[in-house]
Amino acid sequence: MFWLQDIKILTSAESKHSGLKGFCSRNIVIILGFSCVLAVIALITVGLTQNKPLPENVKYGIVLDAGSSHTTLYIYKWPAEKENDTGVVNQIDECKVKGPGISSYAQQTNNLGIYLTACMERAREVIPTSQHFETPVYLGATAGMRLLRLEDKKLADNVLNVVTNVLNRYPFDFKGARIITGTEEGAYGWITINYLLGKFTKKLRWFNLRQNENESQETYGALDLGGASTQITFVPQNQTIESPQNALYFRLYGKDYSVYTHSFLCYGKDQALLKKIAKNIQATNGTIQDPCFNPGYMRVMNKSDIYKSPCTRDFQETLKFPQLQIHGTGDFEKCQQSIIKLFDTSMCSYSHCAFNNVFLPQLQGQFGAFSAYYYVMKFLNLTSTEHLSQGNIIDKITNFCSQPWKELKMQFGDVKEKYLSEYCFSGTYIISLLQKGYHFTPDSWKNIHFMGQIQNTDVGWTLGYMLNLTNMIPAEQPMSAPLPHSTYIFLMVFFSLILTAVVIIGLIIFHKPSLCWKDMV
C-alpha cells in the first residue's frame, strides 16, 4: 500500500515539474522572440530614418547669349553643396529667341520686349515657382554689340537699358545685361569644353578607387567662331605668354591654370564675308565675279549695307553705283586666295604670331572647334566620327563650291537661301582661318575636333560663364541626416548586439534545454 502511495506522490510531482518546465519554456521562447523582433524593427527603423533620401537641394541659373545674329537662352541647374568651390552645373533646357541679334534692334528697341517674351516664359515653366526669386539671370552680349558700341555708344547703351527693363519684369533675380569682352568669351568657351570633358577633375580607378596620378589631364584648346568675331584659347605648356593682355589665370577645382586667349573682332564669318566683298568692290563697275559663291548664284547688295559695319570702313570708297551685283563662279582655290588677303602676316613683333601682329604661342594639344565651326562643317557632312584629313576636307569643300546653284537649291530646298548661298564661303573661310591664320598643319589637323554638344550640353561660352559665376555664390552647408553620425553608429551597434545575444541564447536553449532546469530537479 505504501509503495503505491509513494508512486502516486512521485507521479504527481513529476507532472507538476513537467508543467512548470513547459510553462517556463514557453515564456522564455516568447521573451526571446519578442526581443528578436524588437531588435530587428529597431535596426530597420534607425537605418531607414538615417538613410532616407534628402530633399533635392539645387539652384538654377539663366544665361542669355546675345550674339551678333541671334539670341539663345540657356537654363542651368547645380547642387547647392558645391565641389571644390565650383558648382557642378548641368544644362537642362535651351530656347532660341526668334529673330536676329539684339544689336539689330538699335533703332527699334520697343520690340525687344516681345522679342524676349517667349523664351522668358519658357524659363518660368521649367524652373519651379518656389525657386524663381532666387534664380539669377545674366545676359551677355558678344561681338554684335561690341561693333554697335564702336559705331555708336549711346545706341548700344540704350539697347542694354531696354533689355534690362524688360528682364526686370520677370520674377527672377536679374543680375544685369552687359557686353562681355572677346577675352571673356574665349576663356569661358575654354572652361565649358574642359568642364564637359572632365578635364578639371581627376578620374578614379575602378578597382582601388584611388586617383590615377599618371593619367593625363591635359586640357583642350577652344576654337570659337561667331558671326562677328572668332576666339582661340588654350594652355601653352612651357611657353611664355609674351603679350600680357592675352594671359588669363583661373583657379578651378583646386588647380591653377595659365591660359592664352585672343579674340579677333571682325573675323567672324559674317563680317569676314563683308570685308572680302568690300575689298573686292574696288576698281569694279558694280559687278563682281565671286569664286566664293556657287556657279549660277546671283546676289544684289546695297552699298550702304556693305559699309555700315565698322569692320569694312577701312575699305570704304566713293562709289558711283548704289548697288553691287555678285555673280558666283564656285572656285575653292580662288576663293581661298581672296580670303587669305584678309590676314595680314607681313610683320610680327613676337617670337610667333597668328596674323595682324597678334602673338600666338606654338599650338599644343587637342582643340575643340564649336559654334559656327561645327554648324558649317556639320552641314557639309565633315563632322563624322571618322577623322578626316585636311586634304579630304579641302576636296569635299572644293566639290561643294563647284556644284551649280540650281542643283544645290533642289538638293537643299528647305534651307534658307542666305545660309545655303554662304556655305561655300564659310567652309573655305574655316579652312583658311585654321590653316593660314592659326597655322594648323596637315599633321596637327588631326587634333581639331568639331563639337556641337558634349553630354547633352551645348558647347559655348555660356556654361563657362555660369561656372565662373557659381564661384561667387556662397556654398551652403549640406542638408544633415536626422541623427548625428556617432549616435547612428551607437544605436546600430547596440541593437545588433541585442539581436546577436538573443540568437545565441535561443540556440543554446534549443540544443541544451537541461541547462535551464538543473537547479529545479
**Does 392 share its domain with 465?**
no
Which band of pLDDT confidence, cut at 50, 70 and 90, is reported for residue 459?
A: very high
Is residue 88 situated within a structural domain?
yes
Three-state SS string over 316-351 comes to CCCCCCCEEEEEECCCHHHHHHHHHCCCCCCCCCCC
Residues 305 and 401 in one domain: yes
Residues 223 and 324 grouped into a single domain: no
* Residue that is written with C-alpha cell 538615417 in the block: 50
Do 348 and 325 fall within a single domain?
yes
Q: Does 158 lie in the same domain as 111?
A: yes
**Inside any domain, residue 275:** yes
Beta bridge mates, 223: 232, 369
Cross-strand bridge partners of residue 359 = 353
Confidence of residue 24 (pLDDT cuts 50, 70, 90): low
- Residues 160-175, mean pLDDT to the nearest whole number: 96
C-alpha closest to that of 448 among 518, 393, 513, 491: 393
Residue type, 13: A
Based on the domain organization, do 350 and 301 belong to the same domain?
A: yes
In this structure, the number of other CB atoms found within 10 A of the CB of residue 206 comes to: 6
pLDDT cut 70: percent of the chain above it:
79
Q: Which three cell numbers stand for residue 432?
A: 583658311
* Pair (258, 281) in one structural domain: no
Q: Is 185 a catalytic residue?
A: yes
Q: Which of 185, 215, 242, 476 is catalytic?
A: 185
pLDDT tens track for 67-90: 999 999 999 998 876 655 555 788
For residue 413, tell me if it sits in a domain.
Answer: yes
Residues 414 and 273 in one domain: yes
Q: Are residues 89 and 228 in the same domain?
A: yes
Residues 295 and 421 in one domain: yes
Render pLDDT for 323-358 as a digit per residue (tens, 0 to 9): 889 999 999 999 999 999 999 999 999 999 999 999
Phi-psi region of 371 (alpha: psi -120 to 50; beta: other; left: phi over 0): left
Q: What is the DSSP letter of 34?
A: H
Beta carbons within 10 angstroms of residue 283's beta carbon: 6
441 has a pLDDT exceeding 80: yes
Instruction: Answer yes or no: is 443 within a domain.
Output: no
Asked if residue 395 and residue 345 are part of one domain, the reply reads yes
Is 332 found in the same domain as 279? yes
Domain that includes residue 496, residue range: 21-49+490-521
